[in-house]
Amino acid sequence: MTRAFLKFFVLSLLLLPASCMEWEYGLEEDFDISASAGGLFITNEGNFQYGNATLSYYDPATKTVQNEVFYRANAMKLGDVAQSMVIRNGIGWVVVNNSHVIFAIDPNTFKEIGRITNLTSPRYIHFLSDEKAYVTQIWDNRIFIVNPKRYEITGYIEIPDMTMESGSTEQMVQYGKYVYVNCWSYQNCIIKIDTETDQVVDELVVGIQPTSLVMDCNNKLWTVTDGGYEGSPYGHEAPSLYRIDAETFTIEKQFRFDFGDWPSEVQLNGTKDKIYWLNDDVWEMDVNAERVPLRPFLPYNGTLYYGLTVCPHSGDVYVADAIDYVQQGMVYRYSKNKEMYRSNVWCMFMRNKHEWRFMPCMWFEGFP
């Protein structure tokens, strides 16, 4: 997946479109960034049911950003709620949640090369091979099995004790032949799937609504729960950060937060020995730590941090500030030594604060 340098990485955010654009609907623009040393894709969710999701591209070398690149390259809008993106074997896969579609694009030209349709409400895609991948869903008690080569659905994995109405599966990580999945909205567990049988073989109960899932250099799973909300029929509790051993599928350590905290967006650095997360501030911690740090990596400063990712090559930390969910937002770029780069990325990634809030996730992907 990676080579001597990072080619592309991905950041998922929220986005509102500009009030006016320099390009007209229906006109295609030609792009070719193949000569670039690498860059950052930013998936901007947009407003729920407004169909204004977009894709942006940032070049760290030139410190320039191109907004609406999917729209401009394909003469059509990306759709409703761009949830996530992953790059594999020279193809970018953009998951558009409320449009029930995953687009395959050329990451150098931003052109569409295929799409997987008829999904319920897709969240993330995880590849098992060139011809098999899993797609998690919300409002569905199934994980879809797809063939990426043929862009078609080939089967389903039904999740035990999960209803269609409250169904929610999210991020996926793999350890050996098993894929682990956090079950988020109105759920409280991590499930374990045998990829040879496509069956759920175990589940581990954690706190209410685990929002993220990553695996560190020690083969430990990390998830953070948001604790639900006051008045929820599914409960409300203080959130926690969990370290889970992938081999035994047991909780090793629970780091408890205060009631009313809202942690999210667990991410790893390139060597996978440090984790980062949002909880008003941006936090950093060694994966072998036995207690949460006393001071944050980046303190809250009137900011509304909403998305986070870490470059696996340089260690640069990218964090999104939603500002007020109305005006254009900002992506800040910091070095691993907490120094802010002079040039940051203006992106319009906010939705109205009264709309549904799908917490974004950000991650880096190597480009072979």
pLDDT of res. 303: 85
- Band (pLDDT 50/70/90 cuts) for residue 24 is very low
CATH no., domain 91-348: 2.130.10.10
The model's pTM is 0.89
- Band (pLDDT 50/70/90 cuts) for residue 344 is low
User: Domain boundaries in the chain?
Assistant: 91-348
Residue-wise pLDDT tens digits, 95-123: 999 999 999 999 999 999 999 999 999 99
3-state SS record for the chain: CCCCCCCEEEEEECCCCCCCCCCCCCCCCCCCCCCCCCEEEEEECCCCCCCCEEEEEEECCCCEEECCHHHHHHCCCCECCEEEEEEECCEEEEEEHHHCEEEEECCCCCCEEEEECCCCCEEEEEEEECCEEEEEEECCCEEEEEECCCCEEEEEEECCCCCCCCCECCCEEEECCEEEEEECCCCCEEEEEECCCCEEEEEEECCCCECCCEECCCCEEEEEECCECCCCCCCECCCEEEEEECCCCEEEEEEECCCCCCCEEEEECCCCCEEEEEECEEEEEECCCCCCCCCCCECCCCCCEEEEEECCCCCCEEEEECCCCCCCEEEEEECCCCCECCCCEEECCCCCCCCCCCCCCEEEECCC
Quote the mean pLDDT of the chain: 86
